[in-house]
Structures are given as structure tokens and as C-alpha cells.
Amino acid sequence: MAGALLEVESIDCFYGDFQALFGVSIEVGQGETVAIIGANGAGKSTLLASVAGLLRPGAGEVRFDGTTIAQLSAHRRVAAGISLVPEGRRIFPSLTVEENLQIGAYRRRRGPWTLRKVYDLFPALQELSGRWGGTLSGGEQQMCAIGRGLMGNPRLILLDELSLGLAPRIIKAIYETVYAISQEGTTVVLVEQDIGQALGAADRAYCLLEGRVSLQGTSAELTRDQVVEAYFGLR
């Protein structure tokens, strides 16, 4: 893809002797929102971990803005402009909301995202700014985790299991912010089990099945039947 910001080429990933990804390739253009969908255990989080630098592929290559990042540690990838919002949020429970957000600015790059901008995106966080992270609801924690990821001004933000464990009305509100984030020029890769939410938010989608890409295409061209077949391995 011309102008690809992220290129993952034929990566294999392992946890000890267990192989989680088999020759997975994806491309993400600058300014795109791309969804990675699939069932539990499909390899979605492993793919994000390999991009974020938390897991080193056993084969293949990851390139960011045309440059291989195989030798970059996770914190150097943050400085380069890659931010991961992990599954389970992982908010620091003994820090306030604002302190959690400020931690995200530790490796801050120049860009549009400031504390004020994050509060504009998530007004509830400003009201909760002095609350301890451990007292937040699941939806509030997800807002805080996304805000923390944005505080570093990433070029690419990776959102892992965005809607997991959240009430439908909270999921709707969270997904509305994904569009706002992309409008600021931040490229988004989101991992999701909910097919409808993912396709509604993304420009393009990849489906993973047992560690392999089983389907890819634009959200407009992919039919629900195609996605369901690829998701569950139906033929």
C-alpha cells in the first residue's frame, strides 16, 4: 500500500513452543481506522503486542513509516509514535485519573493531544480527575486508558478489545470517540470481537482465525456473511 504507516509482513509469533501467529500480514495507511476482528484466541492481541514491541516475532518484519522497528524496545516505539491501549485497561489504581493521564505524557511527542484536549474528548474524566483509578467503573477506566494513550501524541494508537465487558450505551459512547480521534489525524488500529461495532467504525478490516488472516477488505465491501464465515471458519 502506497503511504502505509504500518506494515506487518509475514510474522510468526510464539509463546514458548506454542505458535500464535502464522505468516500474518497487514497494512495500515496514514489516517486510516483498521479493525482486527476474530474470536477469542484468534491472535488479535498477539498481533498488537508485536507492533507495540511487547513480543518479538520469530519471523517476518514490522515496519513503521517505512522503517523496520524490529530492534526498537517498547518504550522507544512509544517515542516513535506508537501507543497501545491494552486489553483490561490496566489503569494504575492508586493514582488519580489525572495522574494516570499525565503518565501517558512521559514520552510525549509534539502534537494536538493535551490534557485539555483529552478532557474535551471525555468530559466525564475532568469531573473524575481527582478520583483514584481503582474506584472507576469499567467504562470510566476505558476512557482513562484511551486518554492516557493519546497523551503521548501517537501517530498510531492500538486499541485492544475496546468494548470488552462494557454496557451497550458505554460502548456506543466509546466508539463515537474513535471517529473524533481519527479526525485529529491519529491512525487507529482497533481489536474487537463485536463484528458490527468494528465494521461500523473502521475503513478496512482484517479477520483472524487461529492465527491466520482469513479475510480482509474494506468495511463497505465486506458482507456480514463473509465476515461470519471467516470469523468462525465456516465453509
* Domain at 79, CATH number: 3.40.50.300
Distance set, CA 217 to CA 38, 63, 101, 136 (Å): 14, 21, 35, 37
Tell me the residue range of the domain where 200 lies: 4-232
CA–CA dist 201, 203 (Å, integer) = 7
Contacts of 142 (CB under 8 A, 6+ apart): 89, 162, 166, 170, 174
Whole-prediction pTM value? Answer: 0.92
- The pLDDT tens digits for 149-177 are 999 999 999 999 888 888 888 888 889 99
Residue 148 grid coordinates: 492516557
pLDDT value at residue 73: 94
* Portion of the chain with pLDDT greater than 70, in percent: 98
Residue where the block lists cell 461500523: 200
- Over residues 110-137, the mean pLDDT reads 94
- Over residues 94-113, the mean pLDDT reads 90
- Tell me the average pLDDT of the chain: 92
- Is-contact 38 193, C-beta < 8 A? yes
- The pLDDT tens digits for 189-229 are 999 888 888 899 999 999 999 999 999 999 999 988 898 89
Phi, psi for residue 178 in degrees, rounded to 5? -60, -45
Indicate the number of domains in the chain.
Answer: 1
- Over residues 112-122, the mean pLDDT reads 94
CA–CA dist 43, 21 (Å, integer) = 6
Residue 174 grid coordinates: 466509546
- The pLDDT tens digits for 53-91 are 999 999 999 999 999 998 899 999 999 999 999 988 899
